[in-house]
Structure 1
Amino acid sequence: MDHQEFAHDLHIDIARLHVFIDRGWISPLIIDGRPIFRDVDLARAELIADLTIEMGINDEGVDVVLDLLDQLYSLRFAFSKLFDALEDQPPSIRRRVVTDAQNLKRLARPGSHTLR
């Protein structure tokens, strides 16, 4: 899908599409000097269009929203890998990790200032 088709599918003009790319909001693959838009680019661009058109969020706000979403997805990926690694551990290690996590949760409560 080229720039024209991609912009048309999003109901935005080419100049706005270039803003999406220039700000790093979407990153199409470049093959032989031509952009190749993937499904992930389309989904992200649709989100950006919703944020700006439907919700009235300005470009600086979109930067913040996308940064937070990227952080969230990175954390989800990291936790997935952590859980995979934990599953490979013996039951005694898994119990210890759960116990330690519960102790940390108690520490995070307001008014908790000491280690147990």
Structure 2
Amino acid sequence: MTRFYSETEVISRVEELTQPRLGAFVRARVVSPVTTAHGPAYREADLARLQLLVDLAEAYELPDDSLSMVMSLIDQLNTARGDMRALMQAVAAEPDEVRGRISTTVRSIRIIHVDSES
């Protein structure tokens, strides 16, 4: 079962998070509360995301539009990592011969890529 946190709970759990800053993050669409019968609420993943946002904003003094871009890049990276993990599991399920051909092809593509960067 998913645990939801109210705005008050989120602000008390995320270091350095204030109500105005939370509102700014929501308006910048870098975090999106879910609608519940009790009003807007946040999931556990939102708390981690908010802590990262606060840390980035504090450490690098990033404005909201920059935070939005950074979070978009982080989201894309996380998606790519998930895709890579699934691909690796699919390849691992293939017979040795297929895995060997894939490995050889990947090595040759990487060599071509490295040579083209020189």
Q: TM-score, normalised by structure 1?
A: 0.85
State whether structure 2 residue 21 is matched by structure 1 residue 12.
Answer: no
- Match of 2:11, as an amino acid? A
Partner of 1:96: 101
Please give the alpha-carbon distance, in whole angstroms, between the structure 1 residues aligned to 2:7 and 2:86: 36
Task: Indicate the larger mover: 49-58 or 2-11.
Answer: 2-11
State whether structure 2 residue 75 is matched by structure 1 residue 70.
Answer: yes
Partner of 2:43: 38
Partner of 2:66: 61
Aligned residues: 113
Kept in 1: contact 2:56–2:67 (CA 8 A): yes
Please give the alpha-carbon distance, in whole angstroms, between the structure 2 residues aligned to 1:111 and 1:21: 43
DSSP 3-state at the match of 1:30: strand
Please give the alpha-carbon distance, in whole angstroms, between the structure 2 residues aligned to 1:98 and 1:18: 48
Share of identical aligned residues, percent?
Answer: 25
| Cα drift, residue 30 of structure 1 | 1.6
Unmatched segments (≥5 aa) in structure 1: none
Task: Indicate the larger mover: 71-80 or 21-30.
Answer: 21-30
| Cα drift, residue 21 of structure 1 | 1.6
DSSP 3-state at the match of 2:29: coil
Please give the alpha-carbon distance, in whole angstroms, between the structure 1 residues aligned to 2:54 and 2:29: 15
State whether structure 2 residue 105 is matched by structure 1 residue 109.
Answer: no
Q: RMSD of aligned C-alpha atoms?
A: 2.0
Unmatched segments (≥5 aa) in structure 2: none
| Cα drift, residue 33 of structure 1 | 5.6
Please give the alpha-carbon distance, in whole angstroms, between the structure 1 residues aligned to 2:74 and 2:90: 24
Kept in 1: contact 2:29–2:68 (CA 8 A): no
| Cα drift, residue 8 of structure 1 | 3.4
| Cα drift, residue 7 of structure 1 | 2.2
